[in-house]
Chains A and B, each alone.
Chain A
Amino acid sequence: MLDDTLRSNRLPLAPGVGYKPQHFAQILEHAQPVAWLEIHAENYMGDGGRPLAQLRHLSEKFPISVHGVGLSIGSEGPLDADHLARLKHLVGWLKPASFSEHLAWSTHDSHFLNDLLPLPYTNASLARICEHIDQVQETVGRQMLLENPSSYLAFEESTWSEPDFLREVARRTGCGLLLDVNNVFVSATNLEFSPQGYIDAYPIEKVGEIHLGGHDEDEDDHGRPLLIDSHGREVVDPVWALLDYVLERSGPKPVLVEWDTDVPEWPVLRAEADRAQAALDRVPA
């Protein structure tokens, strides 16, 4: 369990965006760009070249959040020691304002699947995830935030609700939480529970960062709505409403807009960040 004194600086209580290289020039030229940027850790694990040069440059001007998408914290097997060492190296030189990963698995038998795969919530998976998070925080040397997934199905074997599971992980490991509001909405639609009920049960005091993103709409075999977390369009109105519901309970938080596929021109992304700012402005500090 990590001591709170290991927390380094924090993200601003303001909107940030997921950094895309095609926006590099606009971000630097914009008179009032966003307050902070988030990067996917794995894209900055090469030996050199433009990606690292851009990141070094941006990190002199913006607080950076390092968001891992490949550690596979939920793996049944051990964590990939090489990958953990790469994360330690990145976080070591960049000294980001935040470091986060997912409640999911993505590697099996050294095969990386490039997707965030779901976990059952059982005592066994809880113990394993806590062990992995302890290992991550000890190796990387700082607190991490753990993000709730988008779910398309449920496990019959689960004995914990997701909010309770996350609360217990945070309690045992001292990690913080990254609340992805779109993921809550996607899972709530797909698994037919109340998103507000989820937020009410969720340990909101552990939230260090909030994510927003767009999703796609589909149907399952029975014609019921099936939402897919695609990060390829604007955040929908019900998710903005759910953000308001969260912020009323949490107070102001760093809010990130993610847009990873069909990446739009900078002004479109910037407009989403402005909408997040408007939501933050409605919250008493």
Chain B
Amino acid sequence: MSVSQESFHAALMNPSAAIPKGLLDAVAQPAGRRFSVYRNNVAVSLTEAMHQAFPVITKLLGAQNMDGLSGIFLRKHPPSSPLMMFYGEEFPEFLAGMEQLSHIGYLPDVAQLELALRRSYHAADSEPAPADALAVPPEDIMRARLGFAPSMRVLRSDWPIYSIWRFNTEDNAPKPDLAAQDVLITRAEYDPVPHLLPEGGAHWIAGLQAGQTIGGAFEDTANHFPEFDLGATLALLLQGGAITSVTIERLAT
């Protein structure tokens, strides 16, 4: 009796499936519970990976609920590569689709934030632009285009994801108030740090990423967000070492 990896795999992922015939114990009897060791190893190791990947979601839901959710998730979305550092990409969408969790509407966006922090942690290293790269006349600043670090991430949310994240990771952080919050993640050296972006900040950075100048993106952002604070947003990027290049096109004279 030969056992294909197809049938081994199917029985591994379905705890109520019959154990494939042809697997034996030490005295040539059907393997029985011995097969469960593999079932357990797979489920436990992937569940453990989910706990590590989403500590704030785990805290919000409780470890037991997270175990249960992981059990469903890992069968629906098993890892697609051996790089476990990237496991859980589909988790935010999975959470959004869970009807039982629809009363906790912020969960998917908080999961996105945790994913983005992990992506940032493993992103390529980069050198920040020299400190004086923006020490130029204001009209030149407005014509500048910026390059960003691969470790930089921007998230937009209708929920107070920054405050929720802080409340669940820091002692004495203030209780979150209901508000839409956009988050900037920078990684000055090796540790990604989330920052609360001023209103319009995410819009402005997206304009720059699309190739707009600082001034061009500012005009566009100010139209949508009249209160947009360019200086505060730029300061967050500079302090986090997120700007890797500054290109200023000289006007033809």
Does B84 belong to the interface (CB within 8 Å)? yes
Q: Is A100 an interface residue (CB 8 A)?
A: no
Tell me if B83 and A120 are in contact (CB < 8 A).
no
- Residue B1 CB within 8 A of the other chain: yes
A77-93 interface bits toward B, Cβ cutoff 8 Å, 1 = contact, 0 = none: 00010110010000000
A109 & B9 in contact (Cβ 8 Å cutoff): yes
The answer to whether A48 touches B122, judged by C-beta atoms less than 8 angstroms apart, is yes
Contact with B along A152-177 (1 / 0, CB 8 A): 11111100000000000000000000
Is the Cβ of A153 less than 8 Å from the Cβ of B82?
no
Per the bound structure, the CA–CA distance linking A227 and B65 in Å amounts to 29
Q: How far is the CB of A123 from chain B (nearest CB, A)?
A: 12
- Say whether, besides A47-B150, A154-B23, A120 and B2 are in contact (CB < 8 Å): yes
Q: State whether A43 touches B9 (Cβ < 8 A).
A: no
Complex CA–CA separation, A157 to B30 (angstroms): 13
B82 contacts A106, CB within 8 Å? yes
Q: Does the CB pair A155–B3 fall under 8 Å?
A: yes
The minimal Cβ–Cβ distance linking B133 to chain A, given in whole angstroms, is: 22
The answer on a CB contact under 8 Å between A154 and B37 is: no
Mark contacts of B1-24 with chain A using CB atoms, 8 A cut-off: 1 yes-contact digit, 0 otherwise.
111111011001000000000111
Taking the nearest CB of chain A, how far is it from the CB of B64, in angstroms?
20
Residues of A within 8 A of B123 (CB): 46-49
Q: Mark B22-35, 1 if CB is under 8 A from A, else 0.
A: 11111111011111
Given contacts A152-B37, A226-B37, contact A75 B82 (CB under 8 A): no
| One of B40-48, B88-96, B105-113 contacting the partner | B40-48
A53 vs B84: C-alpha distance when bound (angstroms): 19
**Interface residue ranges of A148-204 to B (CB < 8 Å):** 152-157, 190-192
Q: Counting CB contacts under 8 A, is B125 at the interface?
A: yes
Is B84 a contact partner of A47 (Cβ separation < 8 A)?
no
Asked whether B33 lies within 8 Å of A108 as measured between CB atoms, the reply is no
A220 touches B83 (CB 8 A): no
Contact of A48 among B5, B27, B32, B150 (CB under 8 A): B150
Bound-state Cα–Cα, A120 to B32, Å: 17
CB distance from B5 to the nearest CB of A (A): 5
Q: Tell me if A244 is interfacial: C-beta within 8 Å of chain B.
A: no
B38 and A157 within 8 A (CB):
no
Contact of A53 with B41 at beta-carbon distance under 8 Å, contacts A106-B82, A112-B82, A155-B22 already known: no
Question: Is A156's CB under 8 angstroms from B122's CB?
Answer: no
- Interface check A9, CB cutoff 8 A: no
Q: Which residues of B contact A47 (CB under 8 A)?
A: 122-124, 150
Q: Which residues of A contact B24 (CB under 8 A)?
A: 153-156
Q: Which residues of chain B are near A51, meaning CB under 8 Å? A: 122
Question: Does A70 have its Cβ within 8 Å of any Cβ on chain B?
Answer: yes
B121 interface residue per 8 A CB criterion: yes
Is A69's beta carbon under 8 Å from chain B? yes
Please judge, given known A-B contacts A47-B122, A48-B150, A224-B26, whether A114 and B84 are in contact too, CB under 8 Å: yes
Q: Is the CB of B33 within 8 A of A112?
A: no
Tell me, yes or no, whether A28 is within 8 Å of chain B by CB: no
Chain B residue with the shortest CB-CB distance to A150: B37
Question: Is B49 in the interface zone, CB < 8 Å from A?
Answer: yes
Q: Which residues of B sit under 8 angstroms from A118, Cβ to Cβ?
A: 38
- In the complex, A221 has a CB within 8 A of chain B: yes
CA–CA, A110 to B6, complex, Å? Answer: 12
**A152 in contact with B38 (CB, 8 Å):** yes
* CB–CB B5/A75 < 8 A: yes
Q: Given A43-B85, A70-B82, A153-B31, decide whether A117 and B121 contact each other with a Cβ distance below 8 A.
A: no
Q: Is the pair A153, B23 in contact by a Cβ cutoff of 8 Å? A: yes
What residue of chain B has the Cβ atom nearest to residue A46's Cβ? Answer: B122
- Asked if B62 is at the interface (CB within 8 A of a chain A CB), the reply is no
Taking each of A52, A108, A110, which has the highest tally of chain B beta carbons within 10 Å of its own beta carbon? A108
**Do A112 and B78 form a contact, CB below 8 Å, given A120-B2, A153-B31?**
yes
Interface residues of B in 62-99 (CB under 8 A from A): 78-85
Judging by beta carbons under 8 Å apart, are B32 and A221 in contact? yes
Is A42 at the interface (CB under 8 A from chain B)? Answer: yes
Q: How far apart are the CA atoms of A174 and B35 in the complex, in Å? A: 33
A residues neighboring B (CB under 8 Å): 42-43, 45-53, 69-72, 75-76, 80, 82-83, 86, 105-115, 117-118, 120, 122, 152-157, 190-192, 218, 220-222, 224, 226, 228
Known: A111-B9, A226-B37. 4 other contacts (CB 8 A): A76-B4, A108-B6, A113-B78, A153-B35
14 examples of A-B residue contacts, CB within 8 angstroms: A42-B82, A49-B122, A69-B82, A80-B81, A83-B81, A86-B83, A111-B78, A112-B81, A113-B9, A113-B12, A120-B2, A155-B24, A226-B33, A228-B37
